[in-house]
A and B are shown apart, each in its own frame.
Chain A
């Protein structure tokens, strides 16, 4: 039987769908060509088709990220990718000492920022998407003006590789963690180091401000995760579990209540900061050597996204902890995965064998 559905959406555009059904239950056998405008068409078609038990919630149960763009340009391993807060740009830092800025929606190369003398380990955006800070092996951090491409300030003071960096939400401060086992708080305007926190007894692998900018979380290879008061520099809390494998990545959740901790025993944990308890554990990926970035995806369903050493990007359901999708395409360890602030886009970057950044999109 052939059905011809004509659907009218609000803007009076006509969608035509051709179907061929076996029986209603096996919706998978349908093949159709739909000309739609993206959001309304998809949803309408689905709901129109759902005459049988096709749950219209399928979209939010599992994402269907598909590879859209591969961004080639780095000549060495890529170390970190971050979307700008306004969603327009993607910054990628690499071991070839440059930062490349790509358009987030079309993946086109925009700018290359040169200036560091050694590999760059991390890059972070300011809240107005106008500035970047980069942390490099040459023991300095650099603040860049994105529009002009110039390096505004160079922050010196660390005595070993600077490994991680972040702006605070008002973007007047920068926090940096380094292999010299300390964290430094810098003032953006003057470039001076305001505070040095002798944080850990091993290299600091990740630092992050919470959404209000009052707290800092830091993780380190010594297995300890610490929460600091940003204003005074006091350590408020130390999170240690039974075992203490090296912490490779920490991050506050967008609402600031939870902390995502990645450790080098192939585990991601979601902790409740105030109660000091581990709420969820995400496993299945491989993470034993590298400090792999993880991220919260809140634009579609609530996912946890992380790279892995088996060349895949893993996506877990935040609540049920099960793996909902694994993105394949990279040919080396996926060191960084970032989520777009408003769209269902994931950017992932891989190490030296691959050297590319891939953009995935879900609907």
Chain B
């Protein structure tokens, strides 16, 4: 099953689990396996299904069987015999093993679905889809309501129907025992009060294969449903055509080929050529479906014309090799189906698509005041007419729709306005925060500037005051080497920068923010076509720490108890100071990060505002008003909310 292919479980597990849940998967055949993907034949007595492989019956052999009983049933009840279809095939098969003839049933490969009338939610529209898709799926998924002319019904009738030059004895018409009494031939009969001038068999009893005329008059054919019924039409074409083929003494394999072929043609039509106009879609489906809706009608119409040709060809073909027969049959079928399709399309298509040569039958253009005929394939005679009609529609319908809309306050609109207000307020607060950030930024710069101006004092605040445990080793976080705690900070910073500079972090878009002095690194990487999105002050990849001159002072503002500034600055030379390594960089980065976050927030708010504004503008547009309508039944109630309107 394709569905399970995506599953990580192997297919075996799927099958095993299926058979483990014994109650789900029905098991068949002498092998007691639930496998239904191969050819199967059913016993007409016990209704058990058997795999062709297990009882050694091939599909071809099954074609010739009309009634089949399994070995057990035949042993229990000696009266049950396997019945075959033709004298010829009987002779052929009498030499083969008993009970080795499987049946051919287009839909009979699987147990019937619970209820045939199950429709899907959207009614007949999907019914069509269901039928078309069902047809395209493997035959054993089709709905299996007992068909009019299945072999299963054949074996019910025990009597032999005589066969002659004009009666095959097998088809539905030959099996009828009573005259209908309504057709023209019956009404001509003496027993129905006719003059007995025509002297022909009842129309419905004209053999579908061998009669000289068409069994059913075109005028009496059943009206085709506009929307196809989601019932059993599917397997019939394969049945009918298959059996016709057989009666010609042709190769049985053609019948097997038919289900996929018969359904191959409508499927592309339904799935790919779907017009957007739902009306057209229905027509398409109807047209496509007419191919298979009541196919026996189509066959009976066609067969008189093709039949003699077929017969002759069939006779000739018998003497040729099998392979050629198969391909010829396929072509014939396609040709036949094509002709059927054409015919049906001509008859049942939308009236506007009829022959353009007959102007009297063309519908009138729908333009206002226009009396000309419409163009084929259109509802109007010209574009102008269409435009005029559209304009009239708008003038007529739009005002009342606008009035309907304005009758009651639009709640979504109110919500939108409130949302906009909130967003605007948040944007305001974000902007003030931004200004705050800018201020801090400037402050920091000032501090740094001041700090640089401090004089260097070597002796005081030397690091000797620190705990002098040189034997205590810290391991660097990045590289893992042991390092002296005194130089740990410096080392780890450098180490981290080294590793980090090897990776890239960027996006496709350069930063375009007005009023931001320095945020992102934005260095373009031509290989990955990205702009580096690290903070500019921190980016290890694209900015190297400047070399520290020997006399530069550290200058870090000293603090007491972590937070209180003492006003003093660190006087050690930068190179020697181990406590305040890179303090400017880090503080700048802090401030920058805050600014970046505020910009992100502003961006989000812009996005939200844009969404709300689009929604508000798109609401109650021309198309929306014309296509939809909200009918108010209770003039007092415009708002279904029970609590006070917020």
Which residues of A from 308 to 326 have beta carbons under 8 Å from B? Answer: none
Also in contact, A119 and B133, with CB within 8 A (given A69-B632, A72-B629, A246-B114)? no
User: Given known contacts A163-B120, A343-B642, is B125 in contact with A222 (CB within 8 Å)?
Assistant: no
Stretch at the interface among A51-59, A166-174, A283-291: A283-291
Residue from B618, B638, B644 within 8 A of A37 (CB atoms)? B644
How many angstroms from the CA of A107 to the CA of B408 in the assembled complex? Answer: 10
Partner of B408, one of A106, A195, A359: A106
| B115 with A106: CB separation less than 8 A | no
Q: Cβ of A298 < 8 Å from any Cβ of B?
A: no
Q: How far is the CA of A119 from the CA of B119 in the complex (A)?
A: 13
By the criterion CB–CB under 8 Å, are B119 and A290 in contact? yes
In chain A, residues 183-215, which have Cβ atoms closer than 8 Å to a Cβ of chain B? 184, 193, 195-196, 198, 200-202
Most A C-beta atoms less than 10 A away, residue of B1, B114, B120? B120
Residues of A contacting B: mostly? loop
Interface size class of A (residues with CB under 8 A): 35 or more
B123:A361 contact, CB within 8 angstroms: no
Q: Quick one: closest B residue to A293, CB to CB?
A: B121
Contact of B130 among A38, A111, A161 (CB under 8 A): A161
Contact with A along B105-143 (1 / 0, CB 8 A): 000000001110111111111100110010001000000
Q: Are A246 and B615 CB-contacts (below 8 A) given A103-B411, A105-B640? A: no
**Of B137, B630, B640, the contact of A345 (CB 8 Å cutoff):** B640
Interface residues on B, range: 35 or more
Please name all residues of chain B whose beta carbon is closer than 8 Å to the beta carbon of A79 when the two chains form the complex: 121-122
Q: Indicate if A302 sits at the interface (CB-CB under 8 A).
A: no
Q: Does A47 contact B (CB under 8 A)?
A: no
Report the minimum CB–CB distance from B11 to chain A (whole Å). 11
Chain A residues, Cβ within 8 Å of B619 = 110
The stretch of B2-10, B286-294, B465-473, B559-567 that contacts the partner chain = B2-10
B115-A121 in contact (CB<8A): no
Determine how close the nearest CB of chain B comes to the CB of A313; give it in whole angstroms: 15
CB pair B7–A196 under 8 Å, yes or no, is yes
Query: Which residues from chain A contact B6 at a C-beta distance below 8 Å?
Result: 157, 193, 196
**Candidates B121, B634, B644; contact of A290 at CB < 8 Å:** B121
Residue in B137, B411, B633 whose CB lies within 8 Å of A68: B633
Q: Do B114 and A222 touch (CB < 8 A)? A: yes
Q: Are B410 and A108 in contact (CB under 8 A)?
A: yes
Q: Identify the interface centre among A70, A105, A148, A178: most chain B CB within 10 Å of its CB.
A: A105
A336 to B614, CA, bound (A): 31
Residues of A at the B interface (CB closer than 8 Å) are 37-39, 66-73, 75-77, 79-80, 88, 94-96, 100, 102-112, 117-122, 137, 147-148, 157-161, 163, 178, 180, 182, 184, 193, 195-196, 198, 200-202, 221-224, 235, 238, 245-246, 264, 288-291, 333, 335-336, 343-345, 351-352, 359, 361, 363
Query: Other CB < 8 Å A-B pairs besides A147-B611, A163-B120, A335-B121, 6 of them?
Result: A106-B639, A106-B640, A119-B126, A290-B123, A291-B120, A333-B123
- Can you report 29 A-B residue pairs in the complex whose CB atoms are below 8 A from each other? A68-B633, A70-B631, A71-B631, A72-B631, A77-B122, A95-B126, A104-B640, A106-B409, A106-B411, A107-B640, A118-B126, A119-B129, A137-B126, A137-B133, A157-B3, A178-B3, A180-B1, A193-B6, A196-B3, A198-B14, A221-B115, A223-B114, A246-B118, A264-B118, A289-B117, A289-B119, A291-B121, A351-B121, A351-B123
